[in-house]
Amino acid sequence: MTSKITLFQHGTGAMIVPGLFDGTIDIQELLTHGDTGIGSGDGLDGESIINNGTPLLIRGDGSVTIADDHFTVPFVNAHFAAYSTINNIQINDFQSLGNYIFKHHQYQNILFSVKLHGQFEWVKTRSVFKQSKPYPSLVATAKSEKRFESQHLSGTVIAYYYPDAFSKFAVGGFHAHFISDDQSIGGHLMNFSGFNGDLGIQKFKKLDLELPIDNADYLNHDFKNDDIEAAINQAERES
Amino acid sequence: MTSKITLFQHGTGAMIVPGLFDGTIDIQELLTHGDTGIGSGDGLDGESIINNGTPLLIRGDGSVTIADDHFTVPFVNAHFAAYSTINNIQINDFQSLGNYIFKHHQYQNILFSVKLHGQFEWVKTRSVFKQSKPYPSLVATAKSEKRFESQHLSGTVIAYYYPDAFSKFAVGGFHAHFISDDQSIGGHLMNFSGFNGDLGIQKFKKLDLELPIDNADYLNHDFKNDDIEAAINQAERES
């Protein structure tokens, strides 16, 4: 079992940029690495979030289902939750969350996870539709993404922070997914406002990274002409 | 125990660039992660190589000693050797080694180790002297490095290859250290010619990365103004 100071990562952000979307780890195996996590889906079939051991998939049409044991994902993070939690905190928006954390913790250069659970005044998420081979690039896929908004709801944010030195193979900075308690809205978190609830932070000493070394498309790809960081930033940040 | 498909890394290349040279893992602990490896030394006190479970330190003056259990290193790779070996191969130089491997294996996007053992017509290595706090940068430290050459000798090269997506936190491409069988010359391998012997290759599926999260200098440092990749390239490649 992966320890509570270990963050598991399967796949890389660099893979996703040119369209290497094959799922290469299934949910059953993924759950051996954590009860908490966020990731993509096979062929970029939606956005996934594992909360308290339950793997949920938010598809391009916004529908939320429990991901099947055999569902596969190309790029995912997971860990076993052991958050240090502060209760009844107010956070204005996504930007303020980072400001708050770095004001109180010297975590700029380490890997950590953040979990928010409570009430939100407003949440904006997005998801993407399953693509077919030959897969388009990440930026082209993002053009057909759907965005979702909701007000006055309760829900959970699970996020990971990677220092900038990791920006080519993960998402540098924060990467967050959301699911509402009633599962009416979820996906990749673009922004939120007016959070009031519990903030959990869990820092890691180790990164356990697994590469899809049996995937022919991954082995064959020439990454030289992919501008990894620019594409991740374009696709991951709100425009 | 770390498995034979796992590469262990403690620290990052990004740390070394601005002079974060504190040793943060000792040899005793390091040997639990592998019987084979290469790394630096506390304060950049020489270049280290672990060969068949023996940790050797090649200091700035070229002297070779067995590293003490309590000797610490800031940045190191290790793994348990399980190489696939081709015997009696001829390789002209460092560049040809890469050409040979990528001609025969689709390993551009994966992590692997290379071990050469046999006869060399010529070998060029270098090592660095222990620095004192406040530590200079990597590039400044490299200015006082010593270079060593020898001809007609037998020895061992241990190298690791990281794909370019890892270039900010490790050494992208090949990073190799050398030790001669008689321990008369060793250190960071700059180049060689006329190799004739055994070539071992071991690929990894997993990277087990450990960050020095209890080191105050690491936590405090602002990496924003460090040009990590340029500095690593300048210090690691032969000028």
Percentage of residues in chain B having pLDDT higher than 70: 97
Find the length of chain B.
239
pLDDT at B26 > cutoff 50: yes
Quick one: pLDDT at residue A229?
Answer: 79
How many CB atoms within 10 Å of residue B71?
Answer: 20
CA–CA separation, A160 and B152 (whole Å): 52
Percentage of residues in chain A having pLDDT higher than 90: 85
B164/A207 CB distance under 8 A: no
pLDDT at A43 > cutoff 50: yes
Please give the distance of CA A66 from its chain centroid, rounded to a whole number: 16
* A218: nearest CA partner in chain B: B109
Can you list the positions of beta strands (E) in chain B? 6-10, 25-26, 36-39, 47-51, 54-58, 64-66, 72-73, 76-79, 84-93, 111-127, 146-162, 173-180, 186-204, 206-210
CA distances from B157 to A126, B195, B216 (A): 50, 11, 34
Torsion of CA B168, B174, B177, B182, to 10 degrees: 180
Element (H, E) at B102: helix B94-104
A64: distance to nearest CA of chain B, Å?
A: 31
B207/A209 CB distance under 8 A: yes
CA–CA separation, B209 and A218 (whole Å): 22
Q: Does B21 touch chain A (CB under 8 A)?
A: no
pLDDT digit string, tens, across residues B51-105: 999 999 999 999 999 999 999 999 999 999 999 999 999 999 999 999 999 999 9
Residue to substitute from A109, A202, A226, A228, interface B, most B β-carbons within 10 A: A109
Q: Which pLDDT band, with edges at 50, 70 and 90, does A239 fall under? A: very low
pLDDT at A61 > cutoff 80: yes
Q: Which pLDDT band, with edges at 50, 70 and 90, does B224 fall under? A: confident
**CATH 3.40.50.2300 is held by the domain B6-236:** no
Please give the distance of CA B138 from its chain centroid, rounded to a whole number: 15
Task: Please report, as a single letter, which amino acid is at residue A58.
Answer: I
Q: Does A108 touch chain B (CB under 8 A)?
A: yes
Q: What value of ipTM does the predicted structure carry?
A: 0.94
pLDDT digit string, tens, across residues A140-160: 998 999 999 999 999 999 999
Q: Where are the domains of chain B?
A: 6-236
Tokens, residue B107: 């390993």
pLDDT at B133 > cutoff 80: yes
Least confident stretch, A123-127, A147-151, A226-230, B95-99: A226-230
B165/A106 CB distance under 8 A: no
